[in-house]
């Protein structure tokens, strides 16, 4: 909280200070949502962790759009998907596999989640194809992007209804019903909710200062918005859910680990990205749904490799190492490209 009032004459120092401030807040929110999952179960707990974990991306995305840093926003959104599907899942599977050798999970959950991710990829491909093979004005592309965003957000809501209500029986997390504590301590739950609200407000304020400093840093040092977006923002923003996902895998709660990481990617692609596009309209900035070919290809690789790893319903540490290797190669490629 003290870091909110810190400001030096050095743009680089300010960026480092505010980055340091974002990390513990993100981790704190991750811990709080993990604690809440003891009361609401792994499925809902994973959804809550992914939702709260995506607050930083949403907040930093809003501030970035307000400063006109649209390329960084798009790169950060793609970077979040790649980071969740490769880096976070890679570390989680590797750590969990080292400790437990083999971990099994609910394949129905994984299949449904990947269907949602493929829907997001389809939207990216359709928009890129329209942009490549037509000469539509940017205003028209922006209008189409808003309509596509509305469709994606609608499907995301339908997915929640499907998994939490109409077909919740398909998503029951195995035999471990003791994971849901039938604890009647409403006071403790209320305290956690209040702490989550306070942490979210502090994170909102810290995000504004961080993005403002990054904006000045980019202008002063001529840094690439895209590289900062695909590497720095996802790591800072996803820190809380990253830690939660890895810790869950280490405790052999692989279903919740997958729900956090993959669920976060679904939220980014089907909710956060469309929401930012719609909000950009009201902020007077045109951010469309058109991504570069490289961003689309890297996202497709991340989703495809994760799908092949999870299609058999079990994971081993070597599969985690493979995902980490792919993330490393993508990062190196983006460094030289951007």
Most confident of 94-108, 113-127, 224-238: 113-127
DSSP string, 117-161: HHHHHHHHHHHHHHHHH----HHHHHHHHHHHHHHHHHHHHHHHH
Report whether 76 contacts 57 (CB < 8 A).
yes
pLDDT for 144 beyond 70: yes
Confidence of residue 124 (pLDDT cuts 50, 70, 90): very high
Name which of 90-104, 169-183, 216-230, 267-281 the model is least confident about: 169-183
In angstroms, the CA 220 to CA 286 distance is 25
Which tens digits make up the pLDDT trace of 268-299? Answer: 899 999 999 999 999 888 899 999 888 899 99
Q: Which class does domain 9-337 fall in?
A: mainly alpha
Confidence of residue 56 (pLDDT cuts 50, 70, 90): confident
Q: Model pTM? A: 0.81
Confidence of residue 152 (pLDDT cuts 50, 70, 90): very high
In angstroms, the CA 230 to CA 239 distance is 14
Domain coordinates of the chain in residue numbers? 9-337
Residue 177, pLDDT score: 44
Q: Which residue has the higher pLDDT, 209 or 183?
A: 209
Please, which residues have CB within 8 angstroms of residue 251's CB and are 6 or more apart in sequence?
none
pLDDT for 320 beyond 60: yes
Confidence of residue 178 (pLDDT cuts 50, 70, 90): very low
pLDDT for 3 beyond 70: no
Confidence of residue 171 (pLDDT cuts 50, 70, 90): low
pLDDT for 172 beyond 60: no
Residue 179, pLDDT score: 45
Nearest-CA neighbor of 88 among 215, 225, 247?
247
């Amino acid at each position: 909280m003290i870091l909110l009032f810190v400001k030096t004459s050095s743009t680089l120092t300010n960026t480092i200070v505010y980055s340091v401030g974002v990390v513990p807040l993100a981790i704190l929110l991750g811990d709080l949502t993990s604690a809440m999952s003891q009361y609401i179960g792994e499925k809902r707990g994973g959804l809550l962790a992914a939702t709260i974990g995506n607050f930083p991306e949403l907040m930093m995305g809003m501030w970035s759009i307000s400063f006109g840093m649209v390329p960084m926003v798009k790169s950060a959104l793609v970077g979040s998907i790649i980071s969740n599907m490769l880096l976070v899942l890679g570390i989680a599977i590797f750590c969990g596999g080292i400790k437990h050798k083999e971990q099994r999970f609910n394949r129905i959950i994984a299949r449904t989640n990947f269907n949602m991710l493929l829907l997001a990829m389809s939207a990216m491909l359709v928009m890129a194809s329209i942009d490549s093979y037509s000469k539509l004005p940017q205003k028209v592309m922006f209008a189409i992007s808003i309509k596509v965003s509305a469709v994606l957000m609608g499907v995301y809501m339908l997915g929640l209804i499907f998994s939490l209500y109409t077909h919740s029986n398909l998503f029951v997390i195995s035999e471990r019903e003791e994971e849901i504590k039938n604890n009647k301590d409403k006071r403790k739950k209320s305290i956690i909710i209040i702490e989550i609200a306070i942490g979210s407000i502090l994170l909102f304020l810290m995000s504004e200062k961080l993005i403002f400093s990054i904006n000045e840093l980019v202008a002063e040092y001529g840094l690439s918005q895209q590289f900062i977006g695909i590497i720095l923002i996802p790591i800072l923003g996803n820190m809380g859910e990253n830690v939660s996902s890895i810790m869950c895998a280490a405790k052999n709660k692989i279903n919740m680990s997958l729900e956090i990481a993959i669920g976060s990617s679904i939220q980014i692609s089907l909710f956060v990205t469309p929401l930012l596009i719609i909000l950009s309209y009201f902020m007077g900035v045109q951010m469309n749904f058109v991504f570069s070919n490289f961003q689309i290809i890297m996202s497709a690789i991340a989703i495809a490799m994760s799908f092949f790893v999870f299609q058999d319903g079990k994971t081993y540490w070597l599969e985690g190492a493979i995902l980490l290797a792919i993330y490393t190669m993508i990062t190196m490629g983006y460094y030289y490209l951007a």
